[in-house]
Amino acid sequence: MQLHLLPDRADSAAGNMAADFLLLQHYPEPKAARFRHYGWHRPAVTYGYSQKIAFVRAQLPALLGPDTDPADIALCRRPTGGGLVDHRDDWTYTLVLPRGHDLADAPAPISYQRIHADLAAALNDLGRPAALQETCPDCDAALPPLPPGPTVCFTRAEKHDVIDPATGRKLAGAAQKRSKHGLLCQGSIDRAAVGPLDWDAFHAAFTARLAATLAAEPAETPWPDFPEGAHEALTDHYTTPEWNTFR
């Protein structure tokens, strides 16, 4: 099995979400996993598929701060779950695993833990201490309970998120989607929380760790050819009110 390391790309929020979904739906090589790191054409916030738009809009002022007008932020619903993610200073990645791979078919908590364990190990490889959150705030009586309903990413670590072991501050989180084609994992690392880091070296360390976990051979791979017009059509769909405000 190979781990295809795709070229870095920057796109709009909708374009990035469309590319990730198409990597799951239309790049189903059974003997290859896919990994990509990407950037954003403009400041963006994404939110989980099941989140209600009223909640999202209510959280934006506190999330963005007083100096940012929410109208200046690209807002897009993800095809995965999870909370609100501020992408203005994050390191964003996607991992796609084909159906039939042990990790793709494993329960969500296991795949979440294994991917984040590799991420934390890569940070430690570069001298940045990191660990996994091992308690569940909703289940641990020693911690105040999380409020019900959707959440804002990076405000508090949940079980198997990556944290600073000294302070408990959340460093990285992710969201997942499973389909008949496999597993899509969209992850975000808070670069401000991590601090100074050689991110190219991190990319190499993280993908090496993932390749070992997946029993895969890492291989730099050109960007795949999606069906003609598929990326443009799905990008357009992800910009519509029907997609972004339907809940």
Dihedral angle of Cα 238, 242, 245, 247, to the nearest 10 degrees: -110
Question: What is the identity of the amino acid at 237?
Answer: H
The range of the structural domain enclosing residue 80 comes to 2-244
Q: What distance in Å separates the CA atoms of residue 150 and residue 57, rounded to the nearest whole number?
A: 12
75-114 residue pLDDT tens: 999 999 999 999 999 999 999 999 989 999 999 999 999 9
28-75 residue pLDDT tens: 667 799 999 999 999 999 999 999 999 999 999 999 999 999 999 999
Q: What distance in Å separates the CA atoms of residue 103 and residue 117, rounded to the nearest whole number?
A: 13
Give DSSP secondary structure letters for 168-194. Answer: --EEEEEEEEEETTEEEEEEEEEHHHH
163-210 residue pLDDT tens: 999 999 999 999 999 999 999 999 999 999 999 999 999 999 999 999
Q: Total domain count for the chain?
A: 1
Handedness of CA 210, 135, 47, 50 (dihedral sign): positive
CATH assignment at residue 215: 3.30.930.10
pTM above threshold 0.75: yes
